[in-house]
Amino acid sequence: MSESGIEPLSEEELAVVRRAQLDFGYFLEEVFSRSFAGRRFRMADGHWQPFTLGDVHRRWATLAQVYNRFCVVAPRMHLKSTILNHALVFWHLFKGWGDVDALVFSYKDQLAREHLAITKRLIKANPYCRLWRDRKPQSDSVISFEVSFGQGVSWLGEADGTGILSASRGRHPKLVVADDVLSDFASPLGAAQLTRIENVFRQVVMSLPDPHDPLVVVGTPQSYEDILFKLREDPSFYWLRLPAVLDERRQTTLWPEKFDYSQLQRVRAAIKERAFQVEYLLVPVAVANAFLPREALEACVDVEATCWSLEEPFDNPARYPVYGGMDVGKDVHPSHISVFVQVPDGTLLQVFQMFLDHLDYRVQVKLINRVIEHFDITRFYYDSTRAELDDRGLSSKAAGNRFTKRLKANIALLLERRVYASPEEPGIVLLKDDRMLKQLCAVTKDLESVEVDGGHGDAFWATALAVKAAEDGPAMTVLGDWNDMFGGRRTTADR
Q: With contact defined as beta carbons under 8 Å apart, do 375 and 325 qualify?
A: no
Residue 93 to residue 21: CA distance in whole angstroms: 10
Q: What is the mean pLDDT of the chain?
A: 89
304-327 tens-digit pLDDT: 999 999 999 998 988 999 999 999
- The rounded percent of the chain whose pLDDT value lies above 90 is 70
pLDDT of residue 393: 83
Residue 161 to residue 146: CA distance in whole angstroms: 19
Residues 343 and 283 in one domain: no
Q: With contact defined as beta carbons under 8 Å apart, do 147 and 154 qualify?
A: yes
Confidence of residue 482 (pLDDT cuts 50, 70, 90): very low
Nearest CA-CA partner of 425 in 438, 436, 416: 416
Nearest CA-CA partner of 42 in 281, 260, 254: 260
Report if residue 57 sits inside a domain. yes
Report if residue 6 sits inside a domain. no
Report if residue 4 sits inside a domain. no
pLDDT of residue 102: 96
Residue 277 contacts by C-beta under 8 Å, 6 or more apart in sequence?
283, 288
Instruction: Name the domain count of the chain.
Output: 2
Residues 376 and 412 in one domain: yes
Q: Which domain holds residue 444?
A: 294-494
Residues 321 and 355 in one domain: yes
Report if residue 414 sits inside a domain. yes
Q: With contact defined as beta carbons under 8 Å apart, do 102 and 123 qualify?
A: no
CATH code of the domain covering residue 433 = 3.30.420.240
Residue ending a domain, choose from 241, 260, 288: 288
User: In 136-259, which ranges are continuous DSSP H helix?
Assistant: 191-203, 227-230
Higher-confidence residue: 143 or 274? Answer: 143
Residues 232 and 130 in one domain: yes
pLDDT of residue 280: 92
pLDDT of residue 345: 92
Residue ending a domain, choose from 267, 288, 309: 288
Report if residue 5 sits inside a domain. no
Confidence of residue 229 (pLDDT cuts 50, 70, 90): confident
Report if residue 439 sits inside a domain. yes
> For the whole model, what pTM was predicted?
0.71
Residues 323 and 451 in one domain: yes
Nearest CA-CA partner of 186 in 315, 285, 253, 93: 285
Residue ending a domain, choose from 288, 306, 328: 288
Q: What is the mean pLDDT of residues 77-81?
A: 95
Q: With contact defined as beta carbons under 8 Å apart, do 139 and 153 qualify?
A: no
Report if residue 1 sits inside a domain. no
Residues 241 and 319 in one domain: no
Residue 403 to residue 468: CA distance in whole angstroms: 13
pLDDT of residue 171: 85
Residue 28 to residue 126: CA distance in whole angstroms: 12
Confidence of residue 492 (pLDDT cuts 50, 70, 90): very low
Residues 278 and 302 in one domain: no
pLDDT of residue 372: 95
Residue 335 to residue 310: CA distance in whole angstroms: 17
CATH code of the domain covering residue 274 = 3.40.50.300
Q: What is the mean pLDDT of residues 121-133?
A: 97
Residues 219 and 366 in one domain: no
> 3-state class of 280 per DSSP?
coil
First-to-last alpha carbon distance for the chain, in angstroms, is 76
Residues 73 and 172 in one domain: yes
- Asked if the model's pLDDT at residue 485 lies above 70, the reply is no
170-215 tens-digit pLDDT: 888 999 999 999 876 566 677 778 889 999 999 999 999 999 999 9
- Asked if the model's pLDDT at residue 447 lies above 70, the reply is yes
- Asked if the model's pLDDT at residue 480 lies above 70, the reply is no
pLDDT of residue 169: 86
Residues 283 and 300 in one domain: no
Report if residue 97 sits inside a domain. yes
Confidence of residue 283 (pLDDT cuts 50, 70, 90): confident
- Asked if the model's pLDDT at residue 478 lies above 80, the reply is no
Residue 465 to residue 338: CA distance in whole angstroms: 9
Residue 388 to residue 352: CA distance in whole angstroms: 23
Residue 459 has phi, psi (to 5 degrees) of: -70, -30
Residues 207 and 221 in one domain: yes
Q: With contact defined as beta carbons under 8 Å apart, do 90 and 104 qualify?
A: no
For residue 92, the one-letter residue type is H
Residues 349 and 473 in one domain: yes
**DSSP letter string, 133-170:** EES-TT-SS-EEEEEE-SSS-EEEEEEEEEEGGG--SS
Instruction: Tell me which H or E stretch contains 381.
Output: strand 379-383
